[in-house]
């Protein structure tokens, strides 16, 4: 379980999160919505301990991670699998090496075993044909799918974190990514997806949160989101009417 | 505002010291990233070879030309080799190669690490449990410390050869006299003086470039700022360190000033 208790965070003088408080269970399918710069990605980084809050507490499975050392945080991070915005594939490695990265780094698997596992993962996300390509040769959608495969190679996570997984890609690829996100959560594993694309969020999530200028101004289900009177949410939801 | 700026500068300096120390610590703590280190050596060394060759050749030629113009009318052109040798081995060779290295390799390191920060690749490494300092900084420090001295030796040799070409074909000096002057200045003190500096410069360039790269913020403009800062700070640090090292080495080697 993830608990944020009055978390504040700022980049220099710019306050990004203001007293954000919420809790999310590991099996929930949550979408955090909000505009650019409203602190959505910051929340994911705080969950993983990649950033430290200015004040407040972040509790993961009952452990306060706010002041944990980098070594202690490594164990916490293994409970999650994250796909960063635009995939964050290593530029200098091809698709095979990107997916094999963690396996080579931390397991005693032979090259044949690694190769087999990499092929399985790439097949699962539907990009097995791209195994020898470099990241710059991939489309936006393929980038995300390879990143998902890489994140699954690392370890068995309790929960998936997705940072804008469908941003900047075409609708067909967006649908594929959404299907993949749902498939991966079928065995009871939850996820948090941060996005500004309410249409995609509706396809995958059951619970919705809305961030505005670093404050959580909404937390509810799909119906509550659609009928919310909050003007900022109305603007976001109006995207649905145009589809 | 001024106090905030000063505080920020002190914070940056502290972080740079910490990174420099942690980067060195990576040499004695597992895991060792040998493949990354070799790749960095190839980029820093082999990749800089021709540019160092060209710059060194022309600097050696220009220096010899200037000295020919000054010393020939005084009947002292037999000293061209000696002055070229001392200048190149002790001072110009190490500093010039370091400046070229900072411009090419330092800016490359800063922009590469900066783009890895902006693209969340460094965050990904941390999520995978990989220490970015050991994986990214230590191999770059090692490659710079190893390759800059090698490039400096090559650059010195090429500069001396450039000086020889001008001394012989323009200054009409005997080649034997030129090389015999060079041999005279090729003593322990001068060689040590010129050989210590590249190690220090390499370490400084790598640390500054890695630090500026890893502190990148703010998209394409931030990346431009990072690259510029890495090169400018490296240049200033090289010349300042050169002065300090020169003073120390002159004292240690017993030269009277």
Residue ranges of domains in chain B: 31-252
Q: Which of B31, B127, B130 sits opposite A48 (nearest CB)?
A: B127
In which band, very low, low, confident or very high, does the pLDDT at B38 lie, cut at 50, 70 and 90? very high
Mean pLDDT along residues A168-195: 89
Claim: this prediction has a pTM higher than 0.95: no
Give the gap in angstroms from C-alpha B212 to the nearest C-alpha of chain A. 17
Tell me, yes or no, if B217 comes closer than 8 A to chain A by beta carbon: yes
pLDDT at residue A232 greater than cutoff 80: yes
The b-or-e profile of B193-227 (16+ CB within 10 A means b, else e) is bbbbbbbbbbbbbbbbbbbbbbbbeeeeeebebbb
Give percent above pLDDT 70 in chain B.
99
Provide the edge-to-edge strand list for the sheet that holds A207-212: A80-83, A159-163, A190-195, A29-34, A207-212, A215-221
pLDDT surpassing 80 at residue A239: no
How many other C-beta atoms lie within 10 A of the C-beta of residue A56?
Answer: 18
A149, A127 in Cβ contact below 8 A? yes
**pLDDT over 90 (residue B245):** yes
Is residue A192 a contact partner of residue A161, using CB atoms and an 8 Å limit? yes
Q: Does B4 touch chain A (CB under 8 A)?
A: no
Chain A closest-CA separation from residue B127 CA (Å): 6
Of B116, B119, B127, the CB nearest to A77: B127
SS (H, E, C) chain A: CEEEEEEEEEECCEEEEEEEEEEECCCCEEEEEECCCCCHHHHHHHHCCCCCCCEEEEEECCEECCCCCHHHHHHHHCCEEEECCCCCCCCCCCHHHHHHHHHHHHCCCCHHHHHHHHHHHHHHHCCHHHCCCCHHHCCHHHHHHHHHHHHHHHCCCCEEEEECCCCCCCHHHHHHHHHHHHHHCCCCCEEEEEECCHHHHHHHCCEEEEEECCEEEEEEEHHHHHCCCCHHHHHHHHHHHCC
The token duo for B70 is 């000054």
Contact A80, A138 (CB under 8 A): no
Under a CB-based contact definition with an 8 Å cutoff, are residues B20 and B208 in contact?
no
Fold of A2-241: Rossmann fold (3.40.50)
What was the pLDDT predicted at A219? 93
**Residue B31 with chain A: CB contacts under 8 Å:** 105
CA distance B222 to B227: 9
Is the pLDDT assigned to residue A13 strictly greater than 90? no
> What band does B103 get if pLDDT is binned at 50, 70 and 90?
very high
**A84–B126 CB contact, under 8 Å:** no
- Using left for φ > 0, alpha for ψ between -120 and 50, and beta otherwise, residue A59 falls in beta
Q: What residues of chain B, 101 to 160, have a C-beta less than 8 Å from chain A? A: 115-116, 119-121, 123-124, 126-131
CB distance from A155 to chain B under 8 Å? no
Q: CA B150, CA B97: separation in Å to the nearest integer? A: 10
For residue B77, pLDDT over 90 is answered with: no
Q: Per the CB < 8 Å rule, is B115 touching A91? A: yes
CA-based max dimension of chain B: 70
Average pLDDT across chain A, whole number: 90
A29-34 and A207-212: which strand pairing? parallel
The predicted structure's pLDDT at residue B30: 84
**Using an 8 Å Cβ cutoff, are B120 and B132 in contact?**
no
Q: What is the pLDDT of residues B144-196, one digit of tens each?
A: 999 999 999 999 999 999 999 999 999 888 899 999 999 999 888 889 989 99
Q: Which residues of A touch B222 (CB under 8 A)?
A: none
Tokens 């090419």 -> residue? B104
The model's confidence at residue A153, banded by pLDDT at 50, 70 and 90, is confident
Q: Taking CB atoms and an 8 Å cutoff, what residues of chain A touch B127?
A: 48, 50, 77, 80, 82, 154
In terms of average pLDDT, the best of A40-54, A160-174, A227-241 is A40-54
Chain pair A-B, CB pairs under 8 angstroms? 46
CA distances from A33 to A3, A39, A205, B222 (A): 18, 10, 11, 27
Q: What residues have CB less than 8 Å from A127, skipping those under 6 apart? A: A95, A138, A142, A145, A146, A149
Q: Residue B171 gets which letter from DSSP?
A: S
Beta partners for residue A14, in sequence order: A11
Q: Which of A31-40, A161-170, B103-112 has the highest mean pLDDT?
A: B103-112
DSSP B89: I
Provide the pLDDT for residue B75.
85
pLDDT higher than threshold 80 for residue A137: yes
pLDDT confidence tier of residue B60, bands split at 50, 70 and 90: very high
Confidence label for A241 from pLDDT (cuts 50, 70 and 90): low
Output B253 or A23, whichever has higher pLDDT: A23
Strand A2-11 with A14-24, pairing: antiparallel
CA-CA distance, A192 to A28, in Å (whole number)? 8
Taking 70 as the threshold, does the pLDDT of residue A242 lie above it?
no
Residues of chain A with C-beta less than 8 angstroms from the C-beta of B111 = none
The number of residues in chain B equals 257
Residue A240's pLDDT is 67
Asked if the model's pLDDT at residue B1 lies above 70, the reply is no
B22 and A CB contact within 8 Å: no
Answer yes or no: do A84 and B123 touch at CB < 8 A.
yes
């Amino acid at each position: 379980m993830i608990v944020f208790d009055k978390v504040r965070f700022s980049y220099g003088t710019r306050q990004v999160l203001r007293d954000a408080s919420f809790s999310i269970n590991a099996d929930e399918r949550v979408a955090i919505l909000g505009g650019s710069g409203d602190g959505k990605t910051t929340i994911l980084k705080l969950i993983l301990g990649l950033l430290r809050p200015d004040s407040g507490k972040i509790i993961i499975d009952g452990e306060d991670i706010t002041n944990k050392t980098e070594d202690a945080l490594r164990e916490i991070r293994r409970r999650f699998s994250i796909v960063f915005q635009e995939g964050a594939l290593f530029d200098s490695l091809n698709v095979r090496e990107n997916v094999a990265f963690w396996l080579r780094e931390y397991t005693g698997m032979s090259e044949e075993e690694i190769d087999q596992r990499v092929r399985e993962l790439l097949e699962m996300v539907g990009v097995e044909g791209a195994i020898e390509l470099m990241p710059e040769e991939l489309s936006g959608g393929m980038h995300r799918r390879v990143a998902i495969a890489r994140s699954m190679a690392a370890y068995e996570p309790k929960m998936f974190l997705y940072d804008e997984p469908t941003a900047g890609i075409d609708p067909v690829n967006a649908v594929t990514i959404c299907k993949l996100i749902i498939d991966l959560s079928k065995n009871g594993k939850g996820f948090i997806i941060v996005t500004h694309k309410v249409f995609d969020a509706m396809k995958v999530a059951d619970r919705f949160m809305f961030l505005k200028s670093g404050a959580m101004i909404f937390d509810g289900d799909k119906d509550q989101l659609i009928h919310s009177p909050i003007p900022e949410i109305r603007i976001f939801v109006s995207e649905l009417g145009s589809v | 505002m001024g106090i905030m700026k000063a505080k920020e500068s002190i914070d940056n300096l502290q972080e740079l010291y910490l990174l420099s120390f942690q980067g060195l610590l990576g040499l004695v703590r597992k895991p060792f990233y040998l493949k990354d280190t070799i790749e960095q050596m190839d980029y820093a060394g082999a990749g800089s070879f021709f540019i160092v060759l060209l710059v060194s050749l022309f600097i050696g030629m220009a220096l010899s030309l200037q000295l020919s113009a000054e010393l020939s009318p005084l009947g002292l052109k037999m000293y061209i080799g000696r002055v070229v040798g001392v200048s190149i081995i002790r001072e110009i060779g190490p500093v010039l190669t370091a400046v070229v290295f900072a411009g090419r390799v330092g800016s490359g390191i800063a922009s590469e690490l900066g783009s890895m920060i902006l693209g969340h690749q460094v965050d990904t490494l941390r999520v995978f449990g990989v220490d970015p300092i050991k994986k990214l900084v230590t191999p770059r420090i090692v490659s710079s410390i190893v390759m800059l001295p090698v490039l400096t030796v090559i650059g010195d040799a090429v500069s001396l050869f450039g000086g020889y070409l001008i001394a012989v074909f323009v200054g009409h000096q005997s080649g034997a006299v030129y090389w015999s002057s060079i041999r005279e200045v090729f003593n322990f003190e001068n060689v040590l003086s010129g050989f210590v500096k590249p190690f220090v410069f390499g370490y400084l360039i790598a640390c500054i470039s890695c630090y500026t790269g890893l502190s990148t913020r703010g998209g394409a403009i931030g990346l431009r700022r990072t690259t510029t800062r890495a090169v400018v700070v490296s240049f200033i640090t090289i010349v300042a360190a050169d002065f300090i090292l020169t003073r120390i080495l002159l004292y240690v080697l017993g030269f009277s000033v």
